[in-house]
A and B are shown apart, each in its own frame.
Chain A
Amino acid sequence: MTMEQESTPSDVPGGDCTPTRMAAPPPPDPQFVLRGTQSAVHALHFCGGAQGQGHPLLLSGSLSGLVHIWSLQTRRAVATLDGHEGQCVTWLQTLPQGHQLLSQGRDLKLCLWDLAEGRNAVVDSVRLESIGFCRGSVLARGHQHWTLAVPGRGSDEANSSPRPLLLAGYEDGSVALWDVSERKVCSRIACHTEPVMALDFDSQKARGVSGSAEKALAVWSLDEQQALQALRTQELTNPGIADVKIRPDRKILATAGWDHRIRVFHWWTMKPLAVLAFHSATVHCVAFATDGLLAAGSRDQRISVWSLYPRT
């Protein structure tokens, strides 16, 4: 089954019911908004800052195939990468040293960029087979050695855990755990009735969350026998989750909704904490920085950056 972006319900969902506990303080505003991609934003990734190599950067991939590199200090684009022949960029990931960038595009290419010392050139690229929504995943295994999972035909979202295991979300609504070295499926559960659009996994608590085109988030866990178990589902007001990310400190998670909203949940209890209404079109992606900053990219061509429940 292929899902077209345009087939999402076009009319804006009317009364979005904010959780009642949130009634007292008005919903926050974004800390700032990045403009100028000139096209819908489909991928976001924070990089740098921690290694003392200057100020943190935010990378954004757009529908027009460009990757913008934003300085969070000046809040301006410092560079633009063009390597996907005008096709949408769906996934961005820097390798641990921060000087190399992987970008996945709808042109069925996965490019490796060298960004060190101001360079921005494609040094390698991999041909992909899938044209779906599935994003790649990278597992770092020691210095200069990474394992890359790229979607093949039919799979939807990939994610890996410390032992060479791979989580994949499928368009039939199921999530599967693969043992990479033995090339077999360890466990597979059906979480959703609609295609899985995004998933994220907390390896410390061995819990994961997945979002799909339907009106619910699924939370599942991985037990010691490497079996997946559905824990619970969290009902949403409007259907369609384009992306889900757990904050690096494992306290909260954020979802990107087709209903133009970003939703924030408590990761352990799945209690809804906030509905961030700013964008005027579908939110395609969310990303957390190591310091907790949240960024969301939307079809309205803006990237909003939020500072939520700052850690003290």
Chain B
Amino acid sequence: MAVFDTPEEAFGVLRPVCVQLTKTQTVENVERLQAQLQAVSDSALQELQQYILFPLRFTLKAPGPKRERLIQSVVECLTFVLSSTCVKEQELLQELFSELSACLYSPNSQKPAAVSEELKLAVIQGLSTLMHSAYGDILVTFYEPSILPRLGFAVSLLLGLAEQEKSKQIKIAALKCLQVLLFQCDCEDHPRSLDELEQKQLGDLFAAFLPGISTALTRVITGDFKQGHSIVVSSLQIFYKTVGFVMADEQLRRLSKVQAKPAVEHRVAELMVHREADWVKNTSDKLTILIKKIIECVSVHPHWKVRLELIDLVEALLVKCSQSLVESAGPLLKALVSLVNDESSEVQAHCSKALRHFADQKVVVGNRAFADILSENLHSLATSLPRLMNSQDDQGKFSTLSLLLGYLKLLGPRVNFVLNSVSHLQRLSKALIQVLELDVADIKVVEERRWNSGHLSASPRTSAAGPRRQIQRRYFRFFTDERVFLLLRQVCQLLGFYGNLYLLVDHFLELYHESVVYRKQAAMILNELVAGAAGLEVENLHEKHTETSPEELREIVTSILEEYTSQENWYLVTCIKAEEMGEELTVKQSGLQAITSGAHTCQVSSFLAFSNPSPTICSMNSNIWQICIQLEGIGHFAYALGKDFRLLLMSALYPVLEKAGDQTLLISQAAASAMMDICHACGYDSLQHLINQNSDYLVNGISLNLRHLSLHPHTPKVLEVMLQNSDASLLPLVADVVQDVLATLDQFYDKRATSFVSVLHALLAALARWFPDTGNLGQLREQSVGEEGSHLSQRLATLEEGLENTTTAEDIEQFLLNYLKEKDVADGNVSDFDNEEGLGCTGSVCGSSTVPQEPAPSLGSSDLALTRAPTHQR
């Protein structure tokens, strides 16, 4: 709300104050003037600009020492006037610029004058306001060669302030002001864009400051992390904008060979820089050093906004100065790549955007394609990777692997150029294998036992939201940081996604075979390769990349699966033999209890007198992990193939189910989660559903393994689990497999009878469960008859009958007695008395054992279990 709108009124008010100030220069007088100015409108002020400025400038120029306080208030007043008015004259602009800069001039030192912080701040603000208040045309002509010395002074003054001041406020203000001076201000007061000629002029002018600006800013940027991120961010901005402007390829390309003599005095001409080829070469060499320093420091800066700014820096320099800064292209790209996996998602997103931009634009840096530089970098990284993995700490490993991951992401399908070189593939795989080595000294792994052999009750529906499982916690020898493991997995996944899968799988399968030392790592890598090849969790930067076809993937998975589940890789010693041998219940912990306390190193096993050949704790531990990893791999494969994995269930389901009942906690957990994965991937509702739908495959495995029981001692267990988890639709297959069980029982009745008895128990329990009472039976029967035909209905009829006469304990006892008599009769050692009595009361039961093809009229379930009478066993 201006009180004085017209210049006349304002003049009347201001004149006495101005006169007063001219006469006596005191802080009070300046303040009085400023107070009056508040009441004057902008238009009136513009008219009276020169008049008001006079006493102020007079105060500044007056010879003799002045009090800082006075200068400060004068500068503030000046700033106020300038902020409300425009500077329309070239001369005024230049003079004010000089006068303001001179306020901080100290004649006998390089540094800014030792004045109060308030004054410094006021001067910086004054300069900034002055540049903003200048008319557009005037401002452009201001940057003529003759201003060079004065501008240079101001620039070095501001750089000095930014670098050496303690106050954060001053530093930021100085940097802001520097931006204004260097035409980098992004406020709306500078809407006009420069034409080519003007750009060239400015470029020539700023080229003179480039060394100073770049070195000083580099010092600021690489300074203490604690100075605050905004200072670093602004410095980075000024750095890349200035470098990007002066060294812009576009400008340099147009520069004439011959230097046009500027019409300036000799002294100024000496300061002028002509940007010819030699100068560009020298400057770029020096800038490369600075850029490397900056990258080294900033890429690990704790504040994400700083790292974000680094991306802009890289982007700007690579886009604008790809020719002039060709030497820096490598380090710049490296910086970008290492930020691809930044912990801040903003940085990550911005970085991948920038990278995608580069990949899409096929940016050419110097004479080399972007991709060539990347492959070269990857080559050299692959070469040094084993050494780096050996020597670096977790943080170092993390950044190295991030870099590797970035290269892989960027190169995409071209990663094969590196993989096709045998030596590079070997180095890469060596490094991966080496760093993934597990720590197998932990005794708990062997020790932890699964005691409850309960149902596979968990349903995948409960975890339906997040199908991707969490991985069992592993302990690695060479790192502890979980993020490193995550990176390693991503690296492998990307290799699988972009690389030649056949080549990679071949290579790692070879390593898997080569030595037990590599086996676990190779399996881990194979698992991730397949997951990656299927495109799980992989973000594709390359749209034209063709993924591995499902058929190929299935072929590969089949061969890996075959390897995993082969006799020598699947049936490993994971606990001491005594426990293995059937009588688990009695032996229980005896083998291990002795060493549970204080035994945490591998050496422990040496004083344990195990039988020969004795598995050490370490080797059992290692075996357990290997099985777990392979189980996890089967889960991965299921996800990778989706519904296609159903075809592989015929070979995969049996081994997994077998491990689900393993005594070792870790293995049974891993198997359970693999089963879950299979459920999800193949679209089954529950584990029961999975088992039920694939019982024919399981029966196949069970029946074949029963033929070699000594090699597959757990087969009866699998059958038991299968019976527990399936429904009546299994019935047609039951008879078949029970035949096999009984045949095997004949062979091994002395050693393994217990496990078979529990199978038979499970069978009877299952039958009782499938046909709970007559009411349901009728329904079931109708259902089943349609599916299974008359044969089943016969059997069901007998079942029904058997269940109707509720069997008592006496009945069972009687049955057994009768049966024994039968057996005696068959053996031929019976007395007449027995014979008669036996025939007298057991007629119905006789039928079941003498005429095996006919269903027994009573005790229906015995039909299944006992059609094959043990008399045949010899």
State the A residues within 8 Å of B (CB): 29-30, 32-33, 35-36, 38-39, 64, 73-76, 278, 280, 300-302
Contact yes or no, B791 A38, CB < 8 A: yes
Q: How far is the CB of B671 from chain A (nearest CB, A)?
A: 23
Contact yes or no, B707 A38, CB < 8 A: no
Contact yes or no, A30 B704, CB < 8 A: yes
A301 to B697, CA, bound (A): 16
With known contacts A38-B788, A73-B647, A33–B703 Cβ distance under 8 A: yes
Q: Which residue of B is nearest A37, CB measured?
A: B732
B777 CB-CB contact with A under 8 Å: no
Find chain A residues with CB under 8 A from B708 CB. Answer: 29
Contact yes or no, B733 A36, CB < 8 A: yes
With known contacts A29-B704, A33-B703, A38-B788, A74–B647 Cβ distance under 8 A: yes
Find chain A residues with CB under 8 A from B789 CB. Answer: 38, 64
Interface residues on B, range: 10 to 19
Q: Which of the residues A38, A75, A280, A300 comes within 8 Å of B696, measured between beta carbons?
A: A75
A171 to B646, CA, bound (A): 48
Find chain A residues with CB under 8 A from B743 CB. Answer: 280
State the B residues within 8 Å of A (CB): 646-647, 650, 696-697, 699-700, 703-704, 707-708, 732-733, 736, 739, 743, 788-789, 791
Q: Which residue of A is nearest B789, CB measured?
A: A38
Q: How far is the CB of B558 from chain A (nearest CB, A)?
A: 12
Q: How far is the CB of B504 from chain A (nearest CB, A)?
A: 26
Q: Which of the residues A29, A73, A76, A302 comes within 8 Å of B707, measured between beta carbons?
A: A29
Find chain A residues with CB under 8 A from B739 CB. Answer: 280, 300
Nearest 8 CB-CB pairings of A with B: A29-B704, A38-B791, A33-B700, A35-B736, A32-B700, A75-B650, A35-B733, A38-B789
Find chain A residues with CB under 8 A from B700 CB. Answer: 32-33, 35, 75
Q: Which residue of A is nearest B694, CB measured?
A: A76
Find chain A residues with CB under 8 A from B704 CB. Answer: 29-30, 32-33
Find chain A residues with CB under 8 A from B697 CB. Answer: 75
Q: How far is the CB of B70 from chain A (nearest CB, A)?
A: 97
Contact yes or no, B650 A302, CB < 8 A: no
Q: How far is the CB of B417 from chain A (nearest CB, A)?
A: 34
Q: How far is the CB of B709 from chain A (nearest CB, A)?
A: 13
Known: A35-B696, A75-B696, A302-B736. 6 other contacts (CB 8 A): A29-B708, A33-B700, A36-B733, A76-B696, A280-B743, A301-B736
Q: Which of the residues B646, B647, B732 comes within 8 Å of A36, measured between beta carbons?
A: B732
Find chain B residues with CB under 8 A from A30 CB. Answer: 704
A33 to B697, CA, bound (A): 9
Find chain B residues with CB under 8 A from A75 CB. Answer: 650, 696-697, 700
Q: Which residue of A is nearest B739, CB measured?
A: A280
Q: How far is the CB of B689 from chain A (nearest CB, A)?
A: 16
A64 to B211, CA, bound (A): 97
Q: How far is the CB of B245 from chain A (nearest CB, A)?
A: 65
- The 25 listed contacts between A and B (C-beta, < 8 Å) are A29-B704, A29-B707, A29-B708, A30-B704, A32-B700, A32-B704, A33-B700, A33-B703, A35-B700, A35-B732, A35-B736, A36-B696, A36-B732, A36-B733, A38-B732, A38-B791, A39-B791, A64-B789, A75-B650, A75-B696, A75-B700, A76-B696, A278-B707, A280-B743, A301-B736
A251 to B788, CA, bound (A): 40
Q: How far is the CB of A277 from chain B (nearest CB, A)?
A: 9
Q: How far is the CB of B853 from chain A (nearest CB, A)?
A: 11
A306 to B101, CA, bound (A): 97
A38 to B697, CA, bound (A): 17
Q: Which residue of B is nearest A26, CB measured?
A: B708
A73 to B696, CA, bound (A): 14
Contact yes or no, B650 A32, CB < 8 A: yes
Q: How far is the CB of B793 from chain A (nearest CB, A)?
A: 12
Q: How far is the CB of B825 from chain A (nearest CB, A)?
A: 19
A195 to B789, CA, bound (A): 35
Find chain B residues with CB under 8 A from A73 CB. Answer: 647
Find chain B residues with CB under 8 A from A29 CB. Answer: 704, 707-708
Q: Which residue of B is nearest A277, CB measured?
A: B707
A10 to B696, CA, bound (A): 30
Q: How far is the CB of A308 from chain B (nearest CB, A)?
A: 16
Quick one: which of B696, B697, B707, B788 has the most chain A CB within 10 A?
A: B696
Find chain B residues with CB under 8 A from A302 CB. Answer: 736
A33 to B650, CA, bound (A): 11
Q: How far is the CB of A31 from chain B (nearest CB, A)?
A: 9
A36 to B735, CA, bound (A): 11
Q: Which of the residues B646, B699, B788 comes within 8 Å of A35, measured between beta carbons?
A: B699
Q: Which residue of B is nearest A36, CB measured?
A: B732
A35 to B791, CA, bound (A): 15
Q: How far is the CB of A14 from chain B (nearest CB, A)?
A: 10
Q: How far is the CB of A236 from chain B (nearest CB, A)?
A: 24
Find chain A residues with CB under 8 A from B791 CB. Answer: 38-39
A300 to B740, CA, bound (A): 11
A76 to B187, CA, bound (A): 74
A253 to B320, CA, bound (A): 77
Q: Which residue of B is nearest A302, CB measured?
A: B736
Find chain A residues with CB under 8 A from B647 CB. Answer: 73-74
A301 to B732, CA, bound (A): 11
Find chain A residues with CB under 8 A from B788 CB. Answer: 38
A75 to B704, CA, bound (A): 15
Find chain A residues with CB under 8 A from B707 CB. Answer: 29, 278
A211 to B420, CA, bound (A): 57
Q: Which residue of B is nearest A55, CB measured?
A: B647
Find chain B residues with CB under 8 A from A280 CB. Answer: 739, 743
Q: Which residue of A is nearest B735, CB measured?
A: A301
A301 to B703, CA, bound (A): 14
A38 to B787, CA, bound (A): 11
Find chain B residues with CB under 8 A from A301 CB. Answer: 736
A53 to B796, CA, bound (A): 41
Find chain A residues with CB under 8 A from B699 CB. Answer: 35
A55 to B700, CA, bound (A): 21
Q: How far is the CB of B736 from chain A (nearest CB, A)?
A: 5
Quick one: which of B697, B700, B789, B791 has the most chain A CB within 10 A?
A: B700
Find chain B residues with CB under 8 A from A33 CB. Answer: 700, 703-704
A33 to B700, CA, bound (A): 6
Find chain A residues with CB under 8 A from B650 CB. Answer: 32, 74-75
Q: Which residue of A is nearest B792, CB measured?
A: A38
A278 to B707, CA, bound (A): 9
Q: How far is the CB of B204 from chain A (nearest CB, A)?
A: 73
A36 to B730, CA, bound (A): 11
Q: How far is the CB of B868 from chain A (nearest CB, A)?
A: 10
A302 to B736, CA, bound (A): 9
Find chain B residues with CB under 8 A from A74 CB. Answer: 646-647, 650
Q: How far is the CB of A156 from chain B (nearest CB, A)?
A: 29
A74 to B699, CA, bound (A): 14
A64 to B733, CA, bound (A): 17
Find chain A residues with CB under 8 A from B646 CB. Answer: 74
A278 to B740, CA, bound (A): 11
A76 to B696, CA, bound (A): 8
A29 to B789, CA, bound (A): 30
A220 to B200, CA, bound (A): 102
Find chain A residues with CB under 8 A from B696 CB. Answer: 35-36, 75-76
A64 to B788, CA, bound (A): 13
Q: How far is the CB of A74 from chain B (nearest CB, A)?
A: 6
A300 to B699, CA, bound (A): 15
Find chain A residues with CB under 8 A from B733 CB. Answer: 35-36
Find chain A residues with CB under 8 A from B736 CB. Answer: 35, 301-302
A300 to B739, CA, bound (A): 10
Q: Which residue of B is nearest A76, CB measured?
A: B696
Q: How far is the CB of B617 from chain A (nearest CB, A)?
A: 33
Q: How far is the CB of A227 from chain B (nearest CB, A)?
A: 47
Q: Which residue of B is nearest A33, CB measured?
A: B700
Q: How far is the CB of A300 from chain B (nearest CB, A)?
A: 8
Q: How far is the CB of B642 from chain A (nearest CB, A)?
A: 16
A301 to B789, CA, bound (A): 15
A300 to B700, CA, bound (A): 15
Q: How far is the CB of B562 from chain A (nearest CB, A)?
A: 13
Find chain B residues with CB under 8 A from A32 CB. Answer: 650, 700, 704
